[in-house]
Amino acid sequence: MKLLNKNIATDKLHETAATKIAGVIRQTQNWFAEKMKSATSKWKLKQQWIFLCMVCIIFGGLSILAMANAFRKTTQNTVRPEAIIFPKHLHRDERLIITDKEFRQVQDFKQTHPELLQQMPELADSLYLIEQIYFSQKNK
């Protein structure tokens, strides 16, 4: 029963908020209508019709323009991927050079920590890759 009472209470709250918002909108429209009536009350009927037509043309044109812009393809708001920029110290043409000292360090590490290589296969793969690069640059 409490769930139903909560729903009724929130519905009443929403309804009263909507009523107040509608009242404010209605008051604003009435205020604007009164101001326009007082500003144009001295105009002749033909002047009022011309003014009404001008307002309709201006705001109707702006509405059509806004709708047309929604369907027009714009390049300003689109996200375009950019080419990957390599840091200045890395170039595609330079190869990774492994020195003899680094190769000996890899060999020493493999001999001193064989259990670590079994526990971490990714580390073993990396060390194997370093060895392959070293041997390939020695063959050239």
In this prediction, residue 23 has a pLDDT band, given cuts at 50, 70 and 90, of very high
Q: How many whole angstroms separate alpha carbon 61 and alpha carbon 57? A: 6
- Helix 2-40 to helix 45-71 angle (10° resolution) is 130
Summarize pLDDT for 76-126 with one digit per residue, the tens: 666 666 666 655 555 544 566 778 888 898 899 888 888 887 888 888 888
Q: What is the pLDDT of residue 1?
A: 46
Write down the H helix ranges in the chain: 2-40, 45-71, 100-112, 114-119, 121-139
Q: How many domains does the chain have?
A: 3
Classify the phi-psi angles of 37: left when phi > 0, otherwise alpha if psi is within -120 to 50, otherwise beta. alpha
* 79 domain-assigned: no
Summarize pLDDT for 28-87 with one digit per residue, the tens: 999 999 998 898 889 999 998 999 999 999 999 999 999 988 887 665 666 666 666 655
Tokens standing for residue 24: 């404010």
Q: What is the pLDDT of residue 121?
A: 82
Please indicate, yes or no, whether residues 34 and 46 belong to a single structural domain of this protein.
no
Higher pLDDT, 130 or 139: 130
Residues 107, 83: contact at Cβ < 8 Å?
no
Give yes or no for residue 9 having a pLDDT over 90.
no
Please indicate, yes or no, whether residues 35 and 64 belong to a single structural domain of this protein.
no
Higher pLDDT, 132 or 96: 132
The pTM for the full model equals 0.36
Tokens standing for residue 45: 């009927």
What distance lies between CA 43 and its chain's CA centroid?
51
Give yes or no for residue 140 having a pLDDT over 70.
no
Domain containing 55: what range?
A: 42-72
Hey, CA dihedral for 83, 88, 89, 94, is it positive or negative?
Answer: positive
Q: How many whole angstroms separate alpha carbon 89 and alpha carbon 100? A: 22
Please indicate, yes or no, whether residues 53 and 26 belong to a single structural domain of this protein.
no
